[in-house]
Amino acid sequence: MATRNDVPTFFIYGEPSRSLDVGFLHVETIMERKTLHFGHVSPHKHPLMGQITYWFQGGGTYRIEEETWNFFAPAVSFVPSNVVHGFDVEDQSDAIVVSVSDDMLKAIAPQVELSLNFPTFVTGNPEYAVWSKLGALLDMIADEYRERGCESEKVLWGLMGATLSLMGRFGDRAPLPSTSASVALGLALRRVVDLHYKENWPVGRYVETLATTPHLLDKAAREVFGFAVKELVLERRLLEAKRLLMFTVRSVEDIGSEIGFEDPAYFSRFFRKRTGEAPALWRRRRLQPGTATATV
């Protein structure tokens, strides 16, 4: 593992993070960027956009946060913004990667049958009918983008919505009621938590920032994420701790301080209570990844 202090953040892989135009969309294949990664894409994240990756050839190992899958094509993933992901694949492996700005995803979310707040990875039998439909849609997106770029905005938005909805059918996943006021408040809470989870804000500060009531905010947090507000903040801290333990070489004490725990012993107790293991042991075990599989 290379020495670094933070999980890398990119625009497109290998390019420094930057602001995005409204409605930003970018499409390319893994092979087009192969000279940058040679089949190994280190764990990284994109702060302002989500990505669909459709593997139509080859196979390898794909990682999203702490989960790892060994896969063969066809396989597909959706990774929201700020979710750590990476892969190691065979020489001839290839995939279509569609990068989409958060504002575009937010606009199409009410029309799609997949929650766009959580990552998804699916691999399985290529004879399953939905794979041929999914492959055709991704080919159409790639062709339309090559021919007209983002000038074909309405066509691309429609194809994107259909692609995400088909992905939502895998595993009989139930979509979130994305159009409700409670869900909108829950997603706004997530954005504020992402900005301030290190700062030990009391719940009342989140209530004030979002101009709501404690009851409505708690209801939204439970409906969207299954946690009360305080637990949601703690889960966000735990997620960041796991990211830093897995993808950096920072010390346990430094990581605890980074996410708001000045007392290393308190951080260790917090981590052990939620994972069943001390941070150092959890890190050692996760650096010898097993296999998690979602199939259809």
Same domain for 249 and 120 = no
Looking at residue 14, its pLDDT comes to 80
Domain boundary among 142, 172, 202: 172
* Contact indicator for 61, 288 with CB cutoff of 8 Å: no
Are residues 162 and 36 part of one domain? yes
> For the purposes of burial, counting CB atoms within 10 Å of the CB of 199, is it exposed (0-12), middle (13-18) or buried (19 or more)?
exposed
Same domain? 31 vs 75: yes
Query: Measuring CA to CA, which residue among 85, 87, 82, 33 is closest to residue 55?
Result: 87
Domain that holds residue 143: 25-172
Residue 62 lies in a domain: yes
- Do 77 and 127 belong to one domain? yes
Q: Which residue from 142, 136, 105 is spatially nearest to 28, judged by alpha carbons?
A: 142
Does residue 117 sit in the same domain as residue 244?
A: no
**Same domain, yes or no, for 167 and 186?**
no
Whether residue 31 is found in the same domain as residue 146:
yes
Range list of β-strands (E), the chain? 25-29, 40-44, 49-57, 59-64, 67-72, 75-79, 85-89, 94-101, 120-123
* Residue 175 pLDDT greater than 70, yes or no: no
Q: Is the residue at 40 inside a domain?
A: yes
Looking at the domain assignment, is residue 130 inside a domain?
A: yes
Domain limit, last residue, from 131, 153, 172: 172
Q: How much is the average pLDDT of 137-144? A: 96
Domain containing 222 — which CATH number? 1.10.10.60
CATH number at residue 130: 2.60.120.280
Residue 219 resides in a domain: yes
Residue 8 resides in a domain: no
Unique residue bearing structure tokens 């196979």: 59
Same domain for 86 and 140: yes
Are residues 57 and 79 located together in one domain of the fold? yes
Helix ranges restricted to H, 91-128: 102-108
Same-domain check for residues 245 and 152: no
Q: Please tell me whether the peptide bond between 74 and the residue prior to it is cis, using omega within 30 degrees of 0.
A: yes
Residue at 161 is within a domain: yes
Question: What pLDDT is recorded for position 176?
Answer: 38
Across 26-40, 117-131, 169-183, 272-286, least confident range: 169-183
pLDDT in tens, 89-112: 988 899 999 999 888 898 898 889
**What sign results for the dihedral spanned by CA atoms 271, 276, 281, 287?**
negative
Q: What is the pLDDT of residue 40?
A: 92
The answer to whether residues 209 and 35 touch, using CB atoms and an 8 Å cutoff, is: no
The predicted structure's pLDDT at residue 5: 60
- 115 domain-assigned: yes
* Residue predicted with more confidence, 183 or 109: 109
- Tell me if 259 is assigned to some domain: yes
Residues 259 and 219 in one domain: yes
- Going by pLDDT thresholds of 50, 70 and 90, the confidence category of residue 286 is confident
89, 166: one domain: yes
Give the type of residue at 206: Y
**What confidence tens digit (pLDDT) does each residue in 8-50 have?**
888 888 888 787 777 889 999 999 888 888 889 989 988 889 9
Out of 126, 147, 172, a domain closes at 172
Domain count, the chain: 2
- pLDDT tens, residue by residue, 209-265: 999 999 999 999 988 788 899 999 999 999 899 989 988 899 999 999 999 999 999
